Structures are given as structure tokens and as C-alpha cells.
Amino acid sequence: MAAETTAYYRALDESATLRHHFRHADEEGGLWYFEAVADRGELVVIKQAELTSAGQLHRYSWEHLENEHGGLTDQAIDPEEDPLEAITVDEFQRVWAR
């Protein structure tokens, strides 16, 4: 299953032409950053970064799906329903490249 999952997210990442970027603040003071692409009518997260309130950064993508702290969400996101703030690609990249 892991190989299929990796291949799916890699294909989305490599073929995507339009990417959407969002930020979400959690109850513990952490910030979550998402890069998502449309697939089958849903926004699928292909990159996710969590900046914890303690300043730790955890990154997830097809290259690194999970670790002991967490993993790339397998749930589609919906900006109309989820408490997400749209951000620029530059803001996402600043966090991702830390």
C-alpha cells in the first residue's frame, strides 16, 4: 500500500499545473501549511508542513509520508468548510524551505 500511496502523491505533485496554498492555526498554537491540487473534484494535499508552538518543523510529501510525529493528511480539504486561510506560494515556500 505504501508504494501505491507514494506513487499517487508523486504523480499529483509532478503533474500539477495549478497549486493552492493554505495555512491553519491549531488550538496548541501550531501553524499548519498546505499545498494542494485538484484531483477528481477534490483538493488533495500534496505537501504539508507543521510548525509547532515549540518551533519544530515537520514536513510531509510523497518523499516523506510520515514519521513518529505525524504524516501527510489523507483527507481532502475544503476551503469553504475547513478553517483555512489562503496564502501565497511564497509564504508556503518560506516555511517549506526552512
29-88 confidence digits (pLDDT tens): 999 999 999 999 999 999 999 999 999 999 999 999 999 989 999 999 998 898 999 999
pLDDT band at 19 (very low <50, low <70, confident <90, very high): very high
Residues 6 or more apart in contact with residue 72 via CB below 8 angstroms: 9, 45, 46, 47, 48, 60, 61, 62, 65, 66
Report the pLDDT value the prediction gives residue 37, as an integer from 0 to 100.
97
Report the pLDDT value the prediction gives residue 2, as an integer from 0 to 100.
80
CB 51 within 8 A of CB 31: yes
Global pTM exceeds 0.85: yes
pLDDT band at 1 (very low <50, low <70, confident <90, very high): low
